[in-house]
Amino acid sequence: MENEEKEIKMPLLGDKAPDFEAQTSQGSLKLEDFRGSWLVMFSHPADFTPVCTTEFMAFAQLYEEFQKRNCELLGLSVDSTSSHIAWARNIEEKTGVKIPFPIIADGNKEVAMKYGMLHPGQSKTETIRATFLIDPEGVLRLILYYPLTTGRNMQEILRCIDALQTADKHHVATPANWKKGDKVVVPPPLDQESAEARMKEGYECIDWYLCKKELKE
């Protein structure tokens, strides 16, 4: 018998996000429909499960914060559109939290395969908690994989959007535990002359290769 195992594709940072056309709880959508916006595309194992419900509520409660950052949300699981609709209605009925973003019904796992959302070591049938941050040009900028048992931190996802948008706008990097308003890292000098000059440029420096500055918005 031929090897029946399908190749699992793992997209990489800097790649164009794989195209798709999928049925969602808000109609048929293509990746290209999101061009011009940042997109958080995320998978969850299954509708009507406890950790996933807390994640959806947390995403919904921060929806306005994502919108302020020109960022849309798009969920995905292998459940049907009817299941997604029923689950969203149940969350609203039981908690008062409305799910405002679309959810892909990826029954044939076509999108999940393209994005490497199936990790057989975790589950042979369900998608793991994968999160893809895609920029307005459709490039994959950040990937987070969480196991089935661990709910994501949506504030961390917002922080990552802030960091990437800040890096793009100001051509800087952001240090550990950075949050919006904190000092940013100045790109290190690439030659000896610049390294010697760096210490006199008015930045807050530990040494020539680690200097920070305030951002003027």
- Which residues lie below 8 Å from residue 123, measured CB to CB, with a gap of 6+? 45, 148
Chain positions 60 to 99 lying near another protein, rule: CB under 8 A, are 72, 81, 85
Burial class of 88 by CB neighbour count within 10 A (0 to 12, 13 to 18, 19+): buried
Tell me how many residues contact another protein (CB under 8 A): 17
Query: Taking CB under 8 A as the rule, does residue 38 contact another protein?
Result: no
Residues 6+ away with beta carbon under 8 Å from 16: 138, 139, 140
Comparison of 86 and 205: residue with beta carbon closer to another protein: 86
- Give the residue, chosen from 8, 13, 15, 28, that forms a contact with another protein under the rule CB under 8 A: 28
Q: Per rule CB under 8 A, is residue 127 in the interface with another protein? A: no
Q: Is 33 in the site for another protein (CB under 8 A)?
A: yes
Answer yes or no whether residue 204 interacts with another protein by CB under 8 A.
no
Binding another protein (rule: CB under 8 A), the pick from 19, 32, 156, 204 is 32
71 is catalytic: no
| Three-state SS at 179 | coil
Do the bridges between strand 129-134 and strand 38-43 make them parallel or antiparallel, or are there none, so unpaired? antiparallel
> If we measure between CA atoms, which residue out of 95, 93, 115 comes closest to residue 106?
115
Strand bridging mode 38-43 / 27-30 = unpaired
**Residue 194: Cβ within 10 Å count:** 12
Q: Which of 11, 20, 34, 198 binds another protein (CB under 8 A)?
A: 34
Give the C-alpha separation, 69 to 169, whole Å. 13
Enclosing H/E stretch for 36: none
By the rule CB under 8 A, 49 interacts with another protein = no
Q: Please pick, from the candidates 8, 10, 19, 30, the single residue that binds another protein as defined by CB under 8 A.
A: 30
**Which lies closer to another protein via its Cβ, residue 35 or residue 171?**
35
Q: How far is the CB of 211 from another protein (least distance, A)?
A: 40
Min CB(101)–another protein separation in Å = 9
Q: First vs last Cα of the chain: how many Å apart?
A: 62
| Positions marked active-site | 52
Catalog residues that contact another protein under the rule CB under 8 A: 23-30, 32-34, 36-37, 72, 81, 85, 102
